């Protein structure tokens, strides 16, 4: 099976089955021996990698790999520079401090962001802001917990890059396949 780069839509689980009837990867991909290399929550969107090659999956997901993951994050409110600096230094979370994050304030929604269905909640008297946030960890709901820790809850979360792989124009539900050897080569060149 080839290495799969997939744009996971909002409201889809990062697995092939669900007893509750929620959307799954099976709605978009043929069921196979593929395993997800870096899950995304049901309410998060964007880049998801799948492979049936165990060593490649381990290289991507093992904590020691420190493979950077970049997200576009829409937050409630407009974080001041002091709040962003806290993210850059690492913030206290219930399961221990986060490692420092790369953070960039975006002037508007990033080019290429698609409308979300359903749309995020909108409050006319509370502005929103977009950030590009890069982390090297992968703890459960980490980005959401980090933005909440600085007082600016995440409204929308889109993963756009993992190491050398980018979403690169895929719309929700679309995928791109590459050969496993090409994926290995990409990750070897990345460092």
Catalytically annotated residues: 41
- What residue has token string 């600085």? 150
Chain-centre distance for alpha carbon 151: 20
Alpha helix stretches (DSSP H) within 2-89: 54-61, 81-89
In the structure encoding, which two tokens stand for residue 150, read together?
């600085």
- In angstroms, the CA 38 to CA 52 distance is 13
- 17: burial class by Cβ within 10 Å (0-12, 13-18, 19+)? exposed
- Taken in order 29, 33, 38, 40, the sign of the CA dihedral is positive
């Amino acid at each position: 099976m080839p290495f799969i780069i997939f744009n996971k839509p909002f409201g889809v689980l990062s697995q092939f089955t669900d007893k509750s009837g929620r959307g799954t990867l099976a709605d978009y991909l043929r069921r196979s021996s593929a395993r997800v290399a870096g899950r995304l929550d049901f309410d998060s969107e964007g880049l998801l990698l799948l492979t049936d090659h165990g060593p490649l999956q381990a290289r991507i997901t093992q904590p020691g790999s420190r493979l950077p993951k970049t997200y576009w994050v829409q937050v409630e409110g407009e974080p001041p520079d002091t709040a962003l600096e806290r993210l850059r230094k690492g913030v206290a979370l219930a399961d221990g401090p986060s490692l420092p994050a790369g953070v960039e304030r975006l002037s508007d929604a990033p080019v290429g962001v698609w409308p979300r269905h359903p749309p995020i909640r909108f409050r006319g008297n509370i502005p929103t802001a977009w950030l590009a946030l890069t982390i090297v960890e992968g703890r459960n709901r980490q980005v959401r917990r980090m933005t909440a820790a600085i007082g600016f809850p995440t409204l929308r979360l889109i993963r756009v890059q993992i190491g050398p792989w980018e979403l690169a124009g895929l719309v929700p539900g679309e995928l791109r396949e590459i050969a496993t050897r090409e994926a290995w080569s990409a990750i070897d060149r990345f460092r």
